[in-house]
Structure 1
Amino acid sequence: MDIIAHLGPFSLYDALALAFVVLTWLATGWLSEHPPASRPSVSLLMEDYRRDWMHAFVTRQPRIFDATVIESLRQGTAFFASASLIAIGGGLAMIGNVGSVTDLTGALSVEANPSAVPLKVLLVVAFLSNALLKFVWSNRLFGYCSVMMAAVPNDPDHSHAYARAAQAAEINITAARSFNRGLRSIYFALAALGWLLGPIGLALATLAAGTVLMRREFASHSRAVILQRPPD
């Protein structure tokens, strides 16, 4: 009973649901980046394609196509960073206008403690803030990658050509990993909105987000296509 008393406006079920969303977020990220050897994830499979890309880049002339792809990747990270920043502003506005949120939950026949609503929205803002930081870092890493690609000698027979390309590939992979982490945070920010409907809403939304992420990493049609390799 003392533990429950220290939870303030939250119930024990709220604490369990909060622990569930954090653990699910961490678990899905770890499984995506460290999948079983017998069943690699889409994220891991794409790392090999990125290495193949940088290997083929050495002999491609001209290299305008590769520069265009890198620029499109940077634009994608910039778009999501901007969207996350706008969403964070919206979340902070919700915290400052608790009345409209409680009116919404009341219209959905959900009992909401007004003092708990800002803290629930703060969870959404926390996920969005993490996403923003990941997208910003990913954008910078893709910039590093473009510079390293430019440093690859034009002569494929140069002693540094493939070594430089391999370095660029690893930076490219790191940038993509950061981008994927940002996307996962966006998924769980949406799931965190379920907390406004109570702990059961948060648990169900978390389960849905985790299921979608795992299906896309391990059981999607796109994964089956990525696994296909041309015959030798």
Structure 2
Amino acid sequence: MLSSLSLDRPDAIALAALILTWLLTGWLVEHPPNSRPSVSALMAGYRRDWMRQFVTRTPRIFDANIIDSLRQSTAFFASASMIAIGGGVALIGNVTKLEGLAHDLTIEAAGVRVELKIILVLLFLANALLKFVWAHRLFGYCAILMAAVPNDSDDPLAYARAGQAAEINITAAKSFNRGLQSIYFALAAITWLLGPVALLAATAITSFVLLRREFASLSRMVMLSR
């Protein structure tokens, strides 16, 4: 059992590369260089602008609809993550199917080794679930803070509370983005079933896709345009 759980050198390198790339990609997205802000950083500025505009907007039904839409999105992804986790746990519980999958993919038919690879995917999905649940709750906090913003822009509490709502909104968005990144890397982790080379390739592709969308996408160009 213990020997089958141990990783050979190529698998260990591929696993380390996946985890390190996941951490570094997330850090770079949230801490971009000042000369090249990421889409997430740009959206943080727009979220602050949103809350400043919110103070003088009457009625505020539009803003309530946006918050409701954001909460629905987080709830959807949280539910999808739970379903995926349930499927993965069920798959691990049936070693025969795992061995058959290993045979079909022409990789080693060792149930524990395949289980380990599925567990890696489940860990990413579990992290995504936790991030989505927290984002859902934070968007709820944001809605309450928005409701506490006075309608009178001359009230000294108006812009202060709007600023608090903006920061909670930004924090919720960060958690939501982290959940999405975990989903991306969970998909990459599935390729470990094909071997360490496939995992390395999937890791590189996933990181490239995420970084391109954050730093070189059309949507980013639109946000930067005046």
TM range (shorter): over 0.9
2:19 aligns with: 22
Distance apart, 1:112 and its partner CA:
4.1
Equivalents in 2 of 1:217, 1:169: separation in Å? 21
Q: Structure 1, unaligned stretches of length 5 or more?
A: none
The one-letter amino acid of 1:119's match is: L
- Identity across matched positions, percent: 66
Comparing 66-75 with 5-14, greater Cα deviation is found at 5-14
Deviation of the 1:201 alpha carbon:
1.4
The corresponding residue for 1:183 is 180
1:115 corresponds to: 112
Could you report, residue by residue, the CA deviation over 1:126-182 in whole angstroms, capped at 9, with x for unpaired residues? 000000000000000000000000000011111110111011000000000000000
Shift of 1:8: 4.2
CA distance in 2, matches of 1:8, 1:139: 36
Contact 1:9 1:113 in 2 (8 A): no
Secondary structure of the residue aligned to 1:92 is helix
**Letter paired with 1:212:** V
- Do the aligned residues in 1 keep the contact of 2:30 with 2:40 (CA within 8 Å)? yes
Q: Deviations over 1:75-129 (max 9, x none)?
A: 0000000000110011111111232233233223333432201111100000000
Select between 183-192 and 199-208 the one with higher mean Cα deviation.
Answer: 199-208
Q: What RMSD in Å do the two structures reach over aligned CA positions?
A: 1.4
Tell me, yes or no, if the aligned pair for 2:48 and 2:166 is still in contact at 8 Å: yes
Relative to the length of structure 2, the TM-score reads: 0.96
Q: 1:42 matched to which residue of 2?
A: 39
Shift of 1:9: 4.2
Q: Is the 8 A contact 2:4 2:112 kept in 1?
A: no
Equivalent in the alignment of 1:159: 156
2:95 maps to amino acid:
V
Aligned partner of 1:75 in structure 2 is 72
1:208 alignment counterpart:
205
Instruction: Please name the residue that 2:223 is paired with.
Output: 226
Shift of 1:202: 1.1
Normalised to the residue count of structure 1, the TM-score between the two structures is: 0.93
Distance 1:121 1:174 in 2: 30
- Whether the 8 Å contact between 1:112 and 1:196 is mirrored in structure 2 is no
Partner amino acid for 2:158? A
Alpha-carbon distance in 1 for matches of 2:117, 2:107 = 14
Bigger Cα displacement from structure 2, 184-193 vs 112-121: 112-121
Q: Any unmatched runs of 5+ in structure 2?
A: none
Tell me the distance in 2 between the aligned counterparts of 1:104 and 1:149: 51
- Tell me, yes or no, if the aligned pair for 2:98 and 2:115 is still in contact at 8 Å: no
Q: What code does the residue aligned with 1:18 have? A: L
Change (3 A) 1:101 1:8: closer
Q: How does 1:125-144 map to 2 (within 5 A)?
A: 125-144=122-141
Change (3 A) 1:164 1:192: same
Moved more, 81-90 or 109-118: 109-118
Q: Secondary structure at the match of 2:167?
A: helix
Give the letter for the 2:33 counterpart: P
Distance in 1 (CA, whole Å) between partners of 2:52 and 2:169 is 13
| SS in structure 1 at match of 2:111 | coil
The 3-state SS of whatever aligns with 1:67 is helix
